[in-house]
Structure 1
Amino acid sequence: MKDKQISIIGVPADFGQSRRGVDMGPSAIRYAGVEERLQELVQEIRDEGDIPLDKDLPRDQSGTNLKNLPAVTGGNKKLAAEVSETVKEGRFPLVLGGDHSIAIGTLAGLCEHYSNLGVIWYDAHTDLNTAETSPSGNIHGMPLAVAMGLGHEDLTSIGNGPKVKPENIVVIGARSVDPGERELVREKGIKVYTMHEIDRDGMKAVMEDAIRYLESRNVDGVHLSLDLDGLDPLYTPGVGTPVQGGISYRESHLAMEMLHSSGKITSAEFVEVNPILDEHNKTADVAVGLMGSLFGETLI
């Protein structure tokens, strides 16, 4: 990625879930040295600052079971515009969250420039809930469904139509899937590599297969959406919804190294770093390390 011009876009959003603190994620990642880590790996890196969000909006349900719907919608509209402008300028958007509901805006902005976008969803969860299936009403558990055009109209109408085809999605690391999400995975034929496949076949085989799969779909870009809870909480304690039995630190670096070698990744976001729940900024440090591997950092 030596020829890449990167724009860092911070999204200090915590409206998509109930645990406070994840809005400080972009600051924690910057404090962990993301810009310094990447500046030798790319042609240029520019920090665009944080998307301005209205933090004073009431945390209400607005007549639905979706928590903080107006705030999530407003923030994602701003993010979509920023991401779209970044791609228009020929720059690589590197989005720092914030909770995973921000992927709604990221994908909406990207899909103004891609007609057949592929998505790698590196996460303990599939994030395929809707208002009808969600046990919590937390929108950070819904962005992948929204991207397919499923869910509340306020969310699906951000950008133009569905943003990604179900057959262009690859989920890696899933180990906490709600019943409604499981049904949707089967109905839509979404490619999901659970921890079973990673344990049985190894991360190398899983990533090779995932990359081949997206290549067979003739995608014109690939977005990486990496939730830090995809890793085992032993390595990333500072996340709001930790799930035991996750991907290891070294497996994750291998996955990022292989994505770098593939040359397929055209945008990325790293989300759900919550410094309040963290240990000495450990989770942000891991996020920055994984970004280093994604952009081509090597030991020798």
Structure 2
Amino acid sequence: MASSQVIGTVPGYKFIKNRRAAVLAFPFNGGQGREGVELGGMHLIEHGILEQLKEMEWETSFEPNENIDTLRPNSDPDIEGLKKPRFVSSVTKKVAEQVSTAAKAGDFVVTLGGDHSLAMGTVSGVFEAYPDACLIWIDAHADINTPSTTDSGNMHGCPISFVMGIAGDIPEFAWIKKCLLPERLVYIGLRDVDPAEKKILKDYGIKAFSMHHVDKYGIGKVVDMALDHVNPNRDRPIHLSFDVDALDPSVAPSTGTPVRGGLTFREGHYICEALAETGLLVAADIMEVNPALEDEQAVFQTVQVGCSLTRCCLGETLL
């Protein structure tokens, strides 16, 4: 596969050309059924993430995408059981274009969701700029359902199947190129996986580390094994897509699909810190913060965690 990778000029970053974080917020909830997740990105902005990154000596650019609702079609009936497919398609195409542009410019791309269907766009955009990239997916859920396997029809459970090219032929999503090979994907933190998704993971030989593996090996070993699988020579750009429901609800309670038994505060941050230390990280998604759920303190706690995960991706360390 041909590569269009930029050669990094920022110390400690192999592929980043500018010490600039392109922060893209997408106030979008169309991939699932709960209101509020569209507010997540702006809550991180209001909590000061741009100022925090500037204090870390990153230049920042910011696109709020506040008019994204204009992409909502007048009519959006289900397609093969998928809910709001045209809205999801038009928004994620816009995401892909913005992410690709920022990545090709040599910026570090930070995408703030919004629900995880947005990853159809973030993955497409990152792999357009970095065809040799790999994807590390941090989530309680595999999000690899296809139109034929999803029970809910909510598209935040399907983005991986689309970018892998296994979702089937749906004209509304014809813009999505098959860009993700199974061997370039690894999961960490899974603990709520549908039976059909387990079969897909097995059939395609996709490497996945559940919470059982985190308990068994410890997070440090799991991250090393994950990198050994998708990036054995430590020479590929890394795209990190982090759903905050990967964290235990005691850590990040304000999210739409919480599942008990998740990553601890330190385990979640260790992942971001360790990937940043490789110098290979080029993009990070922080997804599924929902400020409409839980009380004010729980929302503050979750937003605070989202900001600190972002800072870790951009090089913040304990010492």
Q: TM-score range by the shorter chain?
A: over 0.9
Name the SS of the counterpart of 1:111 in structure 2. helix
Cα distance in 2 for residues equivalent to 1:104 and 1:51:
19
My pick for the range that moved more, 244-253 or 276-285, is: 276-285
RMSD: 1.9
- The DSSP-based 3-state class of the residue aligned with 2:68 is coil
Instruction: Report the Cα offset of residue 200 of structure 1.
Output: 0.7
Q: Which residue of 1 aligns with 2:300?
A: 281
Q: TM-score, normalised by structure 1?
A: 0.94
1:228-243 equivalences under 5 Å are 228-243=244-259
Aligned mates of 2:308, 2:174 — CA distance in 1: 35
1:158 paired residue number: 175
Q: Distance in 1 between matches of 2:75 and 2:196?
A: 26
- The whole-number CA distance in structure 2 between the counterparts of 1:126 and 1:219 is 25
In the aligned structure 1, how far is the partner of 2:299 from the partner of 2:210?
30
Can you list the C-alpha shifts for 1:1-41, whole angstroms capped at 9, x where unaligned?
Answer: 76631100011110000011100011111122211221132
* Aligned match of 1:23: 38
- TM-score with structure 2 setting the length: 0.88
Shift of 1:115: 2.1
> What number of residue pairs does the alignment pair up?
299
1:170-193 residue CA offsets vs partner (Å, 9 max, x unmatched):
100000110110000000000100
67-76 vs 107-116, which moves further: 107-116
Cα gap change, 1:63/1:198 in structure 2, threshold over 3 Å: closer, same or farther? closer
Distance in 1 of aligned mates of 2:25 and 2:173: 22
Name whichever of 59-68 and 21-30 sits farther off: 59-68
1:37-186 matched pairs, under 5 angstroms: 37-50=52-65, 52-54=67-69, 57=73, 60-152=76-168, 153-154=170-171, 156-159=173-176, 161-186=177-202
Q: Which residue does the alignment assign to 2:284?
A: 268
Q: CA deviation at 1:280?
A: 3.9
Q: CA offsets, 1:176-218, max 9 Å, x none?
A: 1101100000000001000000001100110111122222277
1:7 aligned to 2:22?
Answer: yes
Distance, in Å, in 2 between the alignment partners of 1:154 and 1:175 is 33
**SS class of match (2:131):** coil
Q: Are 1:73 and 1:154, in contact at CA under 8 Å, matched by a contact in 2?
A: no
Displacement after TM superposition at 1:49 (Å): 2.3
* Aligned residue number for residue 32 of structure 1: 47
Q: Distance in 2 between matches of 1:273 and 1:34?
A: 14
Report if aligned partners of 1:42, 1:295 keep a CA contact under 8 Å in 2.
no
C-alpha deviations, 1:116-153, integer Å up to 9, x for none? 22000000001010111111000000011111012252
CA offset at residue 154 of structure 1? 4.2
Tell me the secondary structure at the aligned position of residue 99 of structure 2.
helix
Partner Cα separation in structure 2 for residue 12 and residue 114 of structure 1: 25
Label 1:218 to 1:264 Cα distance change in 2 as closer, same or farther (>3 A): closer
Partners of 2:37 and 2:279 in 1: how far apart?
30
Distance 1:267 1:217 in 2: 19
Distance in 1, Cα, partners of 2:229 & 2:309:
23
- Alpha-carbon shift at residue 254 of structure 1 (Å): 1.4
On the 8 A contact 2:145/2:158 being kept in 1, the answer is yes
- Using the alignment, how far apart are the partners of 2:218 and 2:180 within structure 1? 27
Deviates more, 1:208-217 or 1:257-266: 208-217
1:246-265 equivalence runs, <5 A: 246-265=262-281
